[in-house]
Homo-oligomer: A and B are copies of this chain.
């Protein structure tokens, strides 16, 4: 916290500053270590259970491919899924600004219910708070989720030789939201990829594959995800730019907005790290799962180098992939 004793937007960007805030302030204040406070946690006294929470402050509330309601369900269900847990139930807490249109609220909650039903989970409990005009920006949603652990991926278990897979094109959620916000939605057809990733996890489990680690590359994108995991395991992740699926329209919108697709949030993607000997089967499994036709092998794990993550560029060079600082994309989820 050297640069600032006050919260800045980058503290919420999912990058380096978010990590610093969580480790140095929040986890420390709870008297815990960062690994003892994971995205999705075991529950002492309730064996096999996994518990997670996520707040959603996305702006605007509606974007191509989704809205804050569906997003808040997919996001939390996905935190469970990548921890190896089958989603069971969700809670939903609403913080609403005075003056918010009630019909729009109903539409958002219906969208959440419909997203929940796709994942076969129920929203079983809720809470509603209202604050005065100007004290919140329209609507914030929190969803917490409970799941049952099916497999035990371990974020510290990456080994040199492991392969890195993804289930489809990156950067679509962030670009859909930013296009809307920056008023360029009419120039692009990028839709948010917001969707549940549990079907992919289940397909892997059913195929007998136990990934070392899985992660949904949301805030901070694929870059933050790879750097963080590489650091946790003391290895380096080598990405292959040419192999990373990016739709042409997403790439065009990234160029227009001056964003690196590696840093842009996804909400229906899963990065899967597997041992080399099951990489082929895993890729095949992801490709065959509905929506997985663009799944790809995008890199591998190598012994620790000077940096956490590098990318072989399409021109044959090598580029350092850095943890994004976090200020580029506020309120993306």
Select which of B26, B99, B113, B146 is within 8 A of A6 by beta carbon: B99
Is the beta-carbon distance between B55 and A106 smaller than 8 angstroms? no
Q: Shortest beta-carbon distance, A14 to chain B, in Å?
A: 9
* Complex Cα gap A15–B45 (Å): 35
User: Chain B residues with Cβ under 8 A from A55's Cβ?
Assistant: 93-95, 127, 129, 142
Is the beta-carbon distance between B102 and A4 smaller than 8 angstroms? yes
Contact with B along A31-54 (1 / 0, CB 8 A): 100000111111111100101111
Q: Shortest beta-carbon distance, A248 to chain B, in Å?
A: 31
Q: Shortest beta-carbon distance, A104 to chain B, in Å?
A: 10
User: Chain B residues with Cβ under 8 A from A25's Cβ?
Assistant: 102, 105-106, 109
Assess A51 versus B7: contact at CB under 8 Å? Given A131-B57, A135-B137.
no
Assess A130 versus B7: contact at CB under 8 Å? Given A29-B113, A140-B136, A146-B49.
yes
**A21 located at the interface, meaning its Cβ lies under 8 Å from any Cβ of chain B in the complex:** yes
Q: Shortest beta-carbon distance, A122 to chain B, in Å?
A: 6
Select which of B9, B54, B91 is within 8 A of A127 by beta carbon: B54
Residue of B nearest to A43 (CB): B89
Assess A130 versus B41: contact at CB under 8 Å? Given A106-B28, A144-B144.
no
Within 8 A of B (CB), among A210-266: none
Select which of B91, B106, B125, B130 is within 8 A of A330 by beta carbon: B130
Q: How many residues of A contact B (CB 8 A)?
A: 82
Assess A11 versus B128: contact at CB under 8 Å? Given A91-B53, A93-B54.
yes
Is the beta-carbon distance between A41 and B6 smaller than 8 angstroms? no
* Complex Cα gap A268–B131 (Å): 23
User: Chain B residues with Cβ under 8 A from A52's Cβ?
Assistant: 91, 125
Is the beta-carbon distance between A88 and B46 smaller than 8 angstroms? yes
Q: A10-B130, A39-B127, A46-B88 are in contact. List 18 more A-B contacts (CB 8 A).
A: A8-B99, A9-B130, A11-B96, A11-B128, A25-B105, A26-B106, A29-B110, A41-B124, A45-B148, A51-B124, A52-B125, A53-B91, A54-B93, A95-B95, A131-B331, A135-B136, A136-B136, A140-B140
29 A-B residue pairs with Cβ-Cβ distance under 8 Å, sorted by A, are A1-B102, A4-B102, A6-B101, A7-B100, A8-B99, A9-B130, A12-B128, A12-B131, A25-B106, A29-B113, A41-B124, A43-B88, A43-B146, A44-B89, A46-B88, A51-B124, A53-B92, A53-B93, A53-B126, A55-B95, A56-B129, A57-B95, A127-B142, A129-B331, A135-B136, A135-B137, A135-B331, A136-B137, A142-B144
